[in-house]
Chains A and B, each alone.
Chain A
Amino acid sequence: MALKTETMILNMGPQHPSTHGVLRLELELEGELIKNVKPHIGYLHRCFEKHAEAMTYPQVIPYTDRMDYLASMYNNFGYVLAVEKLLGIQVPERVEYIRVIMGELQRIASHLVAIGTYGLDIGAFTPFLYCFRDREKILSLFEMTCGARLLYNYMWIGGLSHDIHPDFVRLTKEFIKSFRPTIDELNYLLSYNKIFIERTANIGVLPLDTAINYGVTGPVLRGSGLAFDLRKNEPYSIYDRFDFDIPVGKGLMGTVGDCWDRYYVRVQEMEQSLRIIEQAIDQIPEGDVQAAIPKRIKPPKGTVYFRVENPRGELGYFIISDGSPNPFRVKVRAPSFVNLEVLGELCKGHLVADVVAILGSIDIVLGEVDR
């Protein structure tokens, strides 16, 4: 007579210190091993796409800020490039350079949050504060330029809202100089620490074909070994003028595609972003940042889909315009929403304590998942 065993359902509720936002995970456990994970989302849904239908094109930009609130510059960037493609306008060189610099600074800031909170989930308290200390420097650069620290509304259709401050170039160069030693320090404190490696290597291995089948993008895909980055494969703006590498996961501490690889890809991407900023900051041409902003934005009828490389993956905007000042439909392909699906696949066969590690390595932001 066989024993009848039941699996236990455990609820990692919407309020939990380790799910990055309001995410409810329903874990189906057999003892300590996980059989299935079902994420329940929707707790942060704020009807972005419905709002966008009632606003004019420039008014949508503050709403795009608030989707992925840790990488607002890039949300603006994607939307603005999509509308400019629809309108068919060409922005001045100065605007392009400043947009790239702001985008890369935002990438560093977003990865700092990802790394810091990942350390916090694993149990190391200090790297979190070191990451935030450096992020403060980036945020004060942003505050000096456009006045806000988190939700910028900086990139406008056809240009920027403000020109950069006269001190910006000097302060950015100082930041670059002070940031490189911090990445080394972070590596010694967290990445190469034996306990951290024990907790993240060989956990949550994502094989490459599974990754492609699920449609994941960003550091999650690059951690599994594929060097696919929209900045190199489909260059937008002026990324094709800069020389930088795409870090991939090589399985240095375990198998290719485990949590450590995804985490280390983010650390290396910060280094590459520094390279891009260094090259761009010396080449900014003179010009007027508000020259190409049209007076009334009434795009012709048509549709456009434009995708950019968010710090979390491929962010896509699909805009349908019917000739009026309000867009007919704005649909956002959020990278965290697609990446979250792969959580169920990754957690099978691991222990409960690993769910936190795996979720942290996928790096989701609930604002983007729920929009």
Chain B
Amino acid sequence: MTFGAILAIAAPVLADILKINGSTTVNLPTAEAAEILRAEKAMTIQIDTQGGSAGGISALGDGQVQIGMSSKHITEQDKLKYPSVDFVETHIGEDAVAMIVSKDVWEAGVRSLTREQLADIYEGKITNWKDVGGADRRIAFFNKEPGRGTWEVFAHFVYGNARKAPPVSFPEVGGNEEARNKVAGTRGALSQLSSNWADGKQVFALSIKNDAGEEVAPLAANIANRKYPMSRPLFLLTNGAPSGDAKVFIDFVLSPRGQELVRKHGYLSLDQMVVDGK
């Protein structure tokens, strides 16, 4: 294998390096696609996940990478910050952000929260689970750190616009595993997390109760028809239309094999998304 590795290194010496950075959520299928392309097409692909989606956007803006991974749309602020960059979003799949809770909360009977309840918890007006139908226990809220696509989706749902979210003070979590791990190990825990990480054994995904009083779970069907409110597109970002190695890469992710990887990691592939004229 060492020998094989050395051969593999020797081969792509003349090829360009394709650099990718950004969202840890998008990273999962992307990294696996990169492994396949490295093996099959001898492409040299470097992937990093510094700073989440915001890190991907700024790395692309700074010209440090050819592809940014993002689980949120490019905003006007991003465009203002990098006026010379022509951000192009390529939609590769869809993911839902779930409000996840620890086992004790789930077993105490909390199954859903409304948007108002989420806002009150976020602003510190509700601090005990008994106020939302659970046991008498402090709500241990872990806020996803700034810049993460997960947080943006949450803030967008609760406040309509991420910029309207009030400044708060909570312990922060970064990567998905960190969030899952902390929620699993803390009684009364609540956090925002990509829904496919909720294993239903240690961490549980709550439904969102809509204005009609209906509890909508972050399931594939509800995400596809956009009934579940906190879903988000997964993007590969490029500066201008994809070209060269970036195009080869993105084409692969959009191919049936690439889309299979998106599904494998618990996201919805494009063909699973109901085209509802949106």
A binds B: no
Taking Cβ atoms with an 8 Å cutoff, the residues of B that contact A are none
